[in-house]
Amino acid sequence: MSAAVLRIALDTPLRRLFDYLPPARMPAIGQRVRVPFGRRRLIGLVMEHADSSDMPPDRLKHVLEVLDDQPLLDRSALELLRWAADYYHHPIGEVIAAAIPKALRDGAPLVAVQERWVATAKGAEAFARGEPRRAPKQRALLSRLIDHGGAVAADLSVALPGWQDAARSLAKRGWIASCEEPEPLPQSLDSASTTDLASITRRNSPPLAPEQEAAVQSVSEALGRFAAFVLYGITGSGKTEVYLQVVERVLARGQRALVLVPEIGLTPQLVERFQARFTTPLAVLHSALTDQERLQAWRAAFSGAARIVLGTRSAVFAPVPDLGVIVVDEEHDASFKQHEGGFRYSARDLAVVRAQQSGVPIVLGSATPALETLQNVENGRYIRLSLPRRAAQAEPPRVALVDLRTNATQGGLSTPAVQAMERHLAADGQVLVFLNRRGYAPTLLCTACGWVAPCRDCDARLTVHRSASRLRCHHCGADAPLPERCPQCGFAVKPVGQGTERIEEVLAQLFPQVPLVRLDRDVVRKQADMEHAMRRMHSGEARILVGTQMVTKGHHFPNVTLVIVLNADQGLFSTDFRAPERLAQTIVQVAGRAGRGDKPGEVLIQTEFPEHPLLLNLLNEGYDGFARAALAERANTAWPPFSRLAALRDSARTADDALIFLRDARALMPPPRGILMRGPVPAAMAKRAGRYHAQLLLESSDRAALHRFLSAWLPQVEQLKSARRVRWALDVDPLDAF
Ligand code: ADP
Ligand code: ZN
Ligand code: ZN
């Protein structure tokens, strides 16, 4: 291995690699190195060995240091990151930075090391002579190191507290010495080498229903090659059981599994079920970990000690040696898309690319697959596996609409909804009330002059939080005291509309004897709060659950027999082409919480538009029927997946600056035929946190042509003078177009 020049990826916004001269010990591709960069020193990754550089030789600098003995990222990991940099048109250095833990970017060792102390030969001689005299601590330490053939610092701290001073004195005389050695794996990870099924699985898996069996069989037959499966099964149909049994077979082959989930905090049950089933160690990677915890989990994945790697979005980049299968649970979930910051990627889509590059099957599971995913089934790229029935004998729930125009409401609850609650509570059932809005009320209004409490920094109203007695902006976090009188005219103000906090109050008045739990981000601040709420529902101590989106994810409430969707209308008339899809998914997911045990469930959806085709479609034909109609409409209007989108988005301190940059960008190059540029236009909520947002949308039915254009265009966009007045980013395959 020899090379005149190393091409190195550095965490900078520049779209290129940087040339350096190699050090005496030639680093391999994928290894970390420290290099001089301007006045700083940066840690980078060796991407290529080259024979020459375009830089004048006298300007090339040397690599200062090689950090690892082995590559941090292997060939397949680098291949995925290169693909991502290319597809999302993002600088490779920043893509790599997004893929590895911060501690490693800052130079932490790849393999955990520990400090080991040993006695030297000279020290042993001295000890035999009876030295050191009059220093009992030093003598005790030396004695221990001789007797035990050395000791690890952490153990010494337990056995001989305060040993460090003694060690310093002994080391000074050359009687003891220390070195660093790799830390052994924790005991819990040590059983990892076996592939014996009996020792991998803790509990026997239940016998599968025929459809589950067929699904496990199909995926198993594809082990060792790429195939994409859509595990399309209603809530409670046993998808998780299918994942578990597929993973079991992968482990039995001596391979490892990568499992991606939308949000760990909301799906602790999935982690628990993997832990309950397998004795083999699990590495869990998610955003709530500290840097040190993330480093440890990553190392467990890297070393192969963890045979199952389970994590959220960025875990798609986790190292998994001998990968055998990828599972993406709730594949339709929007949180798989990174939609902030510079590098905006879809972990679901990258997972498919990774499976393809690694030659392994991928399972995309959902009760409500994304329309793109269903279209991929339609065109034969993905294979559909259906689980049409519920596993634990429960019948699918009965769903009905409640017309809000003709039914009286009390604090947002219609009479039929209240009556249904009475019925189900009397029959010992539990009730779930869903409202996708936290706080007490979305608006504070002065009925005298019409003033509504606005956010100073956003195009939005402030939400009333009554118990905290605050007005808060849900977009920028602005927080102010709740006024009692209108600041404009001095008249009394009143909260208008409902949030979960208010619904809780209304329900407490309607059902004073029935204990209730609320689940939203205001009451659930940590994992323990969530678990506490879950326990109260599971024990039956609480009978009513009120909550936001949080209640729709992954929880089993076997005794919930009635689900009420308070307001389905927010998504019906949105300008966002994906709003109907999201609404249908939410309704189906929340409805799926009803009747999971042996009691049949009932779902009531309150709406002012009971004749809306979307709702009727969903009611009459389920998500499948909805998806068919929605895809037909997307085809008619040429929205994705029947076209490809990329959005150039920016924000600036003035609305003008935001638009000027995008106008300049648009004027740079006329797009070729077949590529449409729309805009620039201000974003749907233009002002957010004091900055003005706008976007320029690019659309084409020809993906390759769109990407060719982006490759030619973006380097020029970067150079625009007006770019200096904005923050901008390119969003390829954006989830929302406005
Ligand atoms: P999903 O992931 O589709 O929501 P789960 O895998 O969580 O469904 O299954 C729902 C419930 O049915 C769980 O309590 C699970 O333990 C149970 N279950 C799943 N498959 C079986 C089976 N083959 N036999 C018995 N119970 C099952
Ligand atoms: Zn007023
Ligand atoms: Zn705000």
* Span from the CA of 176 to the centroid of ligand 3 (angstroms): 62
Q: Is the dihedral of CA 191, 192, 196, 199 positive or negative?
A: positive
For ligand 1, atom 4, name the residue with the nearest CA. 236
* Span from the CA of 457 to the centroid of ligand 3 (angstroms): 5
Query: Taking residues 401-421, what's their average pLDDT?
Result: 92
Alpha-carbon separation of residue 181 from 111, 115, 153, 192 (angstroms): 9, 7, 11, 21
- Are residues 387 and 318 part of one domain? yes
Q: Which residue has the higher pLDDT, 560 or 393?
A: 560
Count of domains forming the chain: 5
* Cα–Cα distance, 222 to 692 (Å, whole number): 49
Q: Is residue 310 part of a domain?
A: yes
Q: Range with the lowest mean pLDDT among 248-257, 269-278, 314-323, 641-650? A: 269-278
pLDDT digits (tens, 9 = 90+) for 478-492: 999 999 999 999 999
Query: Is residue 83 very low, low, confident or very high in pLDDT (cuts 50, 70, 90)?
Result: very high
Q: Which protein residues have a CB closer than 5 Å to ligand 3 (ion)?
A: 455, 457-458, 473, 475-476, 478
Q: Is residue 319 part of a domain?
A: yes
Confidence (pLDDT) at 594 = 76
* Cα–Cα distance, 578 to 664 (Å, whole number): 29
* Cα–Cα distance, 473 to 470 (Å, whole number): 10
Query: Taking residues 507-514, what's their average pLDDT?
Result: 94
pLDDT digits (tens, 9 = 90+) for 296-325: 999 999 989 899 999 999 999 999 999 999
- Are residues 313 and 240 part of one domain? yes
Q: Is residue 635 part of a domain?
A: no
CATH code, 690: 3.30.70
Confidence (pLDDT) at 193 = 46
- Are residues 688 and 597 part of one domain? no
Q: Is residue 621 part of a domain?
A: yes
Confidence (pLDDT) at 192 = 45
- Are residues 135 and 211 part of one domain? no
* Span from the CA of 493 to the centroid of ligand 2 (angstroms): 7
Query: Taking residues 84-92, what's their average pLDDT?
Result: 94
- Are residues 314 and 257 part of one domain? yes
- Are residues 382 and 237 part of one domain? yes
Ligand nearest to the CA of 492: 2
* Owning domain of residue 239: 205-392
Q: Is residue 481 part of a domain?
A: no
* Span from the CA of 566 to the centroid of ligand 2 (angstroms): 30
- Are residues 160 and 67 part of one domain? no
Residue 190 pLDDT more than 50?
no
DSSP class of 569 = G
pLDDT digits (tens, 9 = 90+) for 217-263: 999 999 999 999 999 998 778 899 999 999 999 999 999 999 999 98
Q: Is 96 helix (H, G, I), strand (E, B) or coil?
A: helix
For ligand 1, atom 15, name the residue with the nearest CA. 238
Query: Taking residues 416-421, what's their average pLDDT?
Result: 95
Residue 292 pLDDT more than 80?
yes
* Span from the CA of 505 to the centroid of ligand 2 (angstroms): 26
Query: Taking residues 550-564, what's their average pLDDT?
Result: 80
Answer with the one of 81, 105, 129 that is the final residue of a domain: 105
Confidence (pLDDT) at 223 = 95
For ligand 1, atom 20, name the residue with the nearest CA. 238
CATH code, 217: 3.40.50.300
- Are residues 398 and 362 part of one domain? no
Confidence (pLDDT) at 185 = 54
Answer with the one of 355, 370, 392 that is the final residue of a domain: 392
Query: Taking residues 645-659, what's their average pLDDT?
Result: 94
* Span from the CA of 473 to the centroid of ligand 3 (angstroms): 5
Confidence (pLDDT) at 191 = 44
Residue 175 pLDDT more than 60?
yes
Nearest to 562 by CA among 515, 518, 595: 595
Q: Is residue 192 part of a domain?
A: no
Ligand nearest to the CA of 448: 2
Confidence (pLDDT) at 479 = 94
- Are residues 233 and 174 part of one domain? no
pLDDT digits (tens, 9 = 90+) for 348-397: 999 999 999 999 999 999 999 999 999 999 999 999 999 987 766 566 77
Confidence (pLDDT) at 707 = 94
- Are residues 134 and 95 part of one domain? no
Answer with the one of 105, 121, 149 that is the final residue of a domain: 105
* Span from the CA of 463 to the centroid of ligand 3 (angstroms): 10
Ligand nearest to the CA of 211: 1
Residue 137 pLDDT more than 60?
yes
Determine the length of the chain: 738
Alpha-carbon separation of residue 430 from 433, 489, 541, 599 (angstroms): 10, 46, 10, 11
* Cα–Cα distance, 570 to 105 (Å, whole number): 43
- Are residues 530 and 419 part of one domain? yes
For ligand 1, atom 27, name the residue with the nearest CA. 391
Beta bridge partners of 44: 33
Pocket test for ligand 1, best of 234, 237, 240 (most atoms within 8 A of CB): 240
Q: Is residue 187 part of a domain?
A: no
pLDDT digits (tens, 9 = 90+) for 110-131: 887 777 888 888 888 888 888 8
User: Which residues have CB under 6 Å of ligand 1?
Assistant: 206, 208-209, 212, 233, 235-241, 391-392, 556
- Are residues 335 and 215 part of one domain? yes
Residue 24 pLDDT more than 80?
yes
For ligand 1, atom 11, name the residue with the nearest CA. 236
Atom of ligand 1 minimally distant from the CA of 208: 23
Residue 58 pLDDT more than 50?
yes
Confidence (pLDDT) at 596 = 60
Q: Is residue 411 part of a domain?
A: yes
Q: Which residue has the higher pLDDT, 600 or 46?
A: 46
